[in-house]
Chain A
Amino acid sequence: MAGVTLNTVRKTYQGGVDAVKGVSFDVPDGAFCVLVGPSGCGKSTLLRMVAGLERITSGDIAIGDRIVNEIEPADRDIAMVFQNYALYPHMSVYDNIAYGLKNRKTPKDEIDRRVREAAKILAIEPLLDRKPRQLSGGQRQRVAMGRAIVRKPQVFLFDEPLSNLDAKLRVQMRVEIKKLQKTFGVTAIYVTHDQVEAMTMSDILVVMNAGEVEQIGTPTEIYRHPATRFVATFIGSPPMNLVPGTMQADGSVRVGEAHFRLPPHGFVPGRTVELGLRPEDIVIGGSDNAFDMKIEFVEELGATQLVYGRLDGAQLIVQVPSGSVTGAGGTVRLGIAADRLHVFDPATGRRAV
């Protein structure tokens, strides 16, 4: 077993696209690391560099204590699950799973034992003789997983493995993958742009944007203390509300008529900031940091409702239990706890307090 270490890893593609611009982080042995970020931010590129499918322009990648920059994918002792599963269409499920073992000259009876064991874990034993084209999407996904676990690699790599499945299957497989990873204790790096997957599966969450790491931390840390405005709005659904305000001498931030009192910090009175409020942190009739909002319209989600309005001209979305508010037109009194407020520097986008 081994962790993965990235040290100022860069990738410039031919033609000058800087896909990854100096990324460093550490995935401890046995941890489940999720790379999340918008499309084109370099997640796949980074993962492919760890796999050895893409050359590193500069920097180092280590698996365990071994720098793998110049090592062939075959010798990195990793397994990868691709978005399209990449099952070998001319081989049976059995041969697909056995392929990696055959290449490594594993004895026949051991191959057989391990393939059947993997098939059993994934409940695909009845499918072993079929060809990939005779399988459903979910079954193909399992075969791809089987191919990864049968080799007992040091590291699992996943590139959006669930994005071709329907919503229900996605939830089921998400749980299964996480369970398998814990059972085997294998370090995993998982690329996704689905933030539910990101939050639920990760021990370590890496949020990327435009080839750079925005923040690394546990999902809770990232949710509670987003380091940048980008992270704040990227993680969480509906996204965090951002409203411009001004710092006051009394240690609060003024937004129009409303004042938001923050925990004591180094304040610069007069400084303009962006105040962040998560829709789900805002409560109706709260006594902390109360303010009034005119309701523009209401969306029903079943368990909760989204109330749209404005705070000093900026749009505000509030998520409250269903039935809290009826229809548009009225005014509602809202509040938010001081420790749920986020303050960002409008110029740098970094957390200011």
Chain B
Amino acid sequence: MDKRTAFNNRWLPLLLLLPQLVITLVFFYWPASQAVWSSFRIEDAFGTSTEFVGLENYQVLFSTPAYYQAMVTTLIFSTAVTVFSLSIALLLAVMADREIKGAGVYRTLLIWPYAVAPAIAGVLWYFMFQPSLGMVARGLRGMGYDWNPLLNGNQAMVLVIVAATWKQISYNFLFFLAGLQAIPKSLIESAAIDGARPARRFWTIVFPLLSPTAFFLLVVNVVYVFFDTFGIIDAVTGGGPAKATTTLVYKVFADGRLGGDLGGSAAQSVILMFIVIALTAVQFRYVERRVNY
């Protein structure tokens, strides 16, 4: 069967596409082109006029150590959050997949954090770990640990990593659980009869069969930590102390909004945009070949 449908009227197809095209234009192409345009310009000190400077914003960006520091921060942050949120979610999903009493309650509880808005999650964690008021912070100090994420950059980093991971586990858990439940039980049973112990069954049968899910989640999680953790960072640490938790995305906000450097901030946005495009392309390519077993 030929899936193509012939339209007699040439305007009808355009008309049907119009809403989608308008949304894409207004909410993506317009701001994107604005960002590209501003990234070639510099605003004067009073914000009254702008001047075309070509690639200067980019040159400045790549010559400031702060930008490289943000890259390193992003790398540490995204690697940690991705690795922890994926592996913890997988562990929880494997446990939830077993037929246990109360599995329903357990699953629901695990899914809840996903319904919490990033900024709220951030505030929650901020309060729990706030050095003078937070319960957890008090507990830590009670045990003699010098906890102060407001001064200690590493501790601040740990805190945003924990908060961002906690937020993302639910999402990963849901996908992993669905993936696990899609694996026919007879495969596991057959492997058991074939002499594979539980750990070996997991690594030779379950994990390979979950790998499409895992890869999909990997890309989604990288995109998440790159772009969606802004709210959490802002609420928990505000990018500090001493920019220790300023990731690339947070820096766009910090420089543009707080620092008033619209041109530099726009240049950073453009770079981030290319990163998203690259990640999306990787994902699309993979999705096409995803039934590879």
Contacts and interface: CB of A to CB of B under 8 A. Distances in A.
Interface of A: 51-53, 72-74, 76, 78-80, 82, 84, 86, 88-90, 99-100, 103-104, 131, 133, 147, 151
A82 B193 CA distance: 11
Given A53-B192, A80-B189, A88-B205, 6 more contacts: A51-B193, A79-B193, A82-B186, A86-B190, A89-B293, A151-B194
Complex A-B, nearest 7 residue pairs according to Cβ-Cβ distance, in ascending order: A103-B195, A100-B194, A90-B293, A86-B186, A86-B190, A74-B195, A73-B192
Contacts of A73: 189, 192-193
A80 B196 contact: no
Contacts of A52: 192-193
A88 B186 CA distance: 10
Nearest to A90: B293
Identify which of B194, B195, B196, B197 gathers the most chain A CB atoms within 10 Å of its CB.
B194
Interface of B: 184, 186-187, 189-197, 200, 204-205, 208-209, 293
B209 A80 contact: no
A70 to B, nearest CB: 15
Contacts of A99: 191, 194, 196, 204
Contacts of B189: 51, 53, 73, 80, 82, 86
Contact of A88 (B191, B192, B193, B200): B191
B136 to A, nearest CB: 40
A104 B196 CA distance: 8
30 contacts: A51-B189, A53-B189, A53-B192, A73-B189, A73-B192, A73-B193, A74-B193, A74-B197, A76-B193, A79-B193, A80-B190, A82-B186, A82-B190, A84-B186, A86-B184, A86-B186, A86-B189, A86-B190, A88-B205, A89-B209, A89-B293, A90-B208, A99-B194, A100-B193, A100-B194, A103-B194, A103-B196, A104-B195, A147-B194, A151-B194
B210 to A, nearest CB: 10
Given A53-B189, A88-B191, A74 B196 contact: yes
**Interface of B: prevailing SS:** helix
A78 B192 CA distance: 11
Contacts of B191: 88, 99
A73 B209 CA distance: 22
Contacts of A84: 184, 186
Contacts of B197: 74
Contacts of A133: 293
B229 to A, nearest CB: 33
A148 to B, nearest CB: 9
B65 to A, nearest CB: 46
A131 B209 CA distance: 14
A78 B193 contact: yes
B195 A100 contact: yes
Nearest to A83: B186
A139 B283 CA distance: 34
B209 A90 contact: yes
Contacts of A90: 208-209, 293
A198 to B, nearest CB: 23
A72 B193 CA distance: 8
Contacts of B205: 88
B61 to A, nearest CB: 44
Contacts of A86: 184, 186-187, 189-190
Contacts of B208: 90
B225 to A, nearest CB: 29
Nearest to B195: A103
A84 B183 CA distance: 13
B103 to A, nearest CB: 13
A47 to B, nearest CB: 12
Contacts of A51: 189, 193
Contacts of B196: 74, 99, 103
A50 B197 CA distance: 18
Nearest to B183: A89
Nearest to A92: B293
A224 B187 CA distance: 41
Contacts of A89: 187, 209, 293
A123 B197 CA distance: 31
A90 B187 CA distance: 11
Contacts of B293: 89-90, 131, 133
Contacts of A72: 192
B286 to A, nearest CB: 16
Nearest to A51: B193
Contacts of B200: 103
A99 B186 CA distance: 15
A162 B262 CA distance: 71
Nearest to B99: A14
A87 B194 CA distance: 12
A162 B193 CA distance: 20
